[in-house]
Structure 1
Amino acid sequence: MHTTTVLAATDFAFQLAGRNATLEDIFPGFQDSDRIGIVVNQPCGAMGASSLLMAAATHFYAVHRQQLGNEPGKRRIYPDYFIFHVGKCHGNHAQLDVWPPHKEVIVADDAEQILEAINDRGITRLLVEDLPFCSATFLRETLASASRRIRTVLAYSSSGRVRHGDIICTHSLPVEGYIRKMLGDSQALVKLPEKQYSSLLQARENLLADEQVMEQYRRIELSTAFGMLTSNSNPSALTQHYIATSHPDAAIVLNKA
């Protein structure tokens, strides 16, 4: 909750398809009970989605501001936003108010297992890295659960720039300060080489103009996101076990149309 007394809605601005917009335009029907999930495949990759994540957290705290605090009678509460680290830990996002630590979820590098973890956390707004579509094997019930619940899907890039981006989220330098702290915390955690860390910092510098930082996103279909969870098309042993013990027609392989 360390951002609650520092950041406000005025620290963020949005554009959708070239027009000024609001967070509710980006996430139609957005509520404080929404659960955001960001799938990360590379070290500190979620920094490319940090602006929108912090804008949503700031919105959440505005709703609950009167109840927040460490004093008796007050509540310690954080938004239910999750980072899904594919294969291994890719950073520490506590500076972005992804807290407690169990919301940093390490999942197997397998599309079915990633989507199962997303379903288990009840994610309603999903962000995936802008990866090439990769064929993936799923249980049909896993796809059905996600399709029933997830309302918004966006593609992001660790660089902050995506192909054909139709959403822009701009934030102030105080917001960027938390993102830089997140990168610093993550460097030691994932043991980034100094050259790679410097490259990540340069990527943030490239987003800066007129004391504002601008990230791009792209709206995509959920069916497209299913093929962008990972670049690994091979189902894990656990997924193969699920398939072997399920109905003969329970599994489906998704390929790009």
Structure 2
Amino acid sequence: MHTTTKIHSADFELSACGRPASLEHIFPGFNRLDRIGFVVRQPGGGIGASALLMAAMAKFYDFYREQLGNKPGRLRIYPEFYIFHVGDRYMDHYWMDIWPSHKEVDVADEAEQILEAINDRGITRLLVPDAAPVNTVALYERAAAETLDPSSATFLAETVSSAETRILSALAYSATGRTKNADIQIGSCPEAENCVLASINSSHKLTDSEREQLRTSRQFLYTDGRVTETYRRIPLSDALGMLTPCTRLSETTLNYMLNM
């Protein structure tokens, strides 16, 4: 619990559509049971959403602030926030309080498999890398597989229904920290940025050149003395089309179709 004594909700500056906002404006009804999922597709990509991650982390700990600690009788807890590494493991987020390590989830680069992993962790708030969404198809019966458009991402209808009935908010973020057509802005704080840099420096998944590039890129995000990132609220239907540009079906999903 690296952040519990160092970072508080008041340390962040949030705005929505140019007006001061709180985390509840971004995630309406946010509570201690919410589960946030960050889909990551490139080395260090998740740090582009680190301001929101750390602001949500601080808000989660606010719910338990008086109970936390490492001594007997105190509460040792981490939020149910998950990093979904698509296609490869891209970075360790331990210093950003993504812990235990099973919350760093490796998943195949295929839409159905990514959404299954998201559903299996009960994600209620979803962040995806900003991209033009591909068309999506919900497969209801085996016969439909014979006429599938190869340019569309294919899901089982049950997988989509699970997501639609549970995921309450979806946002697009950029690995650069600045999202096109953003309506959400979050100014981070020095302690949160220290956690980001510690994650970059300690990650065995990054090469030395990748670490240096990521550290340098953070310097371009300063606005009025704060690292400032932007996000865009999107419909869940768009988020599903942005999970991956890959429309190739995995062997696992093809087997589902054969058994429908």
The answer to whether TM tops 0.5 is: yes
Name 2:230's counterpart in structure 1. Answer: 216
**What SS does the corresponding residue of 1:62 show, helix, strand or coil?**
helix
Q: Which residue identity is paired with 1:222?
A: L
Contact map agreement 1:207 1:213 (CA 8 A) in 2: yes
Residue of structure 1 in register with 2:143 after alignment:
none
Counterpart of 2:9 in structure 1: which amino acid?
A
Counterpart of 1:153 (choices 170, 176, 182) is: 170
Paired residue for 1:205, among 201, 213, 219?
219
The letter for the 1-side match of 2:207 is: L
**Which amino acid is the alignment partner of residue 146 of structure 1?**
A
The runs of at least 4 aligned residues of structure 1 exceeding 4 Å deviation read: none
Q: Are positions 1:136 and 2:153 aligned together? A: yes
Aligned match of 2:180: 163
Q: Which residue of 1 aligns with 2:37?
A: 37
The amino acid of 1:223's aligned partner reads S
Aligned runs of 1:1-257 on 2, under 5 Å?
Answer: 1-134=1-134, 135-186=152-203, 189-194=204-209, 196-246=210-260
How well do the aligned residues superpose, as a CA RMSD in angstroms? Answer: 1.0
Distance 1:192 1:122 in 2: 32
Alpha-carbon distance in structure 1 between the residues aligned to 2:113 and 2:207: 26
> Distance between the aligned counterparts of 1:229 and 1:72, measured in 2?
42
CA distance in 2, matches of 1:184, 1:32: 30
Q: Check whether the contact 2:111–2:243 (CA below 8 A) recurs between aligned residues.
A: yes
- Asked whether the equivalents of residues 116 and 142 of structure 1 are also in contact (C-alpha less than 8 Å), the reply is yes
Task: Say whether the 8 Å CA contact 1:173–1:211 is kept in structure 2.
Answer: no
Q: Report how far residue 193 of structure 1 moved.
A: 4.5
- Contact kept, 8 Å, 1:11 with 1:175, in 2: the verdict is no
- The Cα of 1:119 is off from its aligned counterpart by 0.3
Separation (CA, whole Å) in 1 of partners of 2:258 and 2:179:
38
Residue deviations 1:184-238 (CA, integer Å, cap 9, x gap): 122xx224241x3322222210001332110000011111111111121101000
Paired with 1:232 and 1:102, the residues of 2 have a C-alpha distance of 25
Q: Separation in 2 of the partners of 1:180 and 1:193?
A: 13
Distance 1:172 1:93 in 2: 17
Correspondence for 2:141: none
1-structure distance, mates of 2:73, 2:189: 33
**What is the CA–CA distance in structure 1 between the aligned matches of 2:112 and 2:200, rounded to whole Å?**
29
Rounded to whole Å, the distance in 2 between the matches of 1:197 and 1:115 is: 29
Quote the Cα distance in structure 2 between the aligned partners of 1:2 and 1:192. Answer: 24
Please report how far the alpha carbon of residue 11 of structure 1 lies from its aligned counterpart in structure 2 after TM superposition: 1.1
Q: How many aligned residue pairs are there? A: 243
**Aligned-partner Cα distance in 1 for 2:9–2:254:** 46
SS in 2 for 1:216: strand
Given that residues 14 and 168 in structure 1 are in contact (C-alpha distance below 8 angstroms), is that contact kept between their aligned partners in structure 2? yes
Instruction: Give the letter aligned to residue 157 of structure 2.
Output: R
Give the C-alpha shift of residue 182 in structure 1.
1.0
Would you say the 8 A contact 1:35–1:124 is kept in 2?
Answer: yes
Confirm or deny: 8 A CA contact 2:14 2:185 kept in the other structure. yes
State whether residues 14 and 20 of structure 2, in contact with CA within 8 Å, keep that contact through their aligned partners in structure 1.
yes
**1:172–1:211: 8 Å Cα contact kept in structure 2?**
no
Distance 2:175 2:159 in 1: 27
Mind listing any 5+ residue stretches in structure 1 that lack a counterpart?
A: 247-257
Q: Give the direction of change, closer, same or farther, for the CA distance of 1:24–1:219 in structure 2 (3 Å limit).
A: same
Aligned-pair identity (%): 51
Greater shift, 145-154 or 4-13, is seen at 4-13
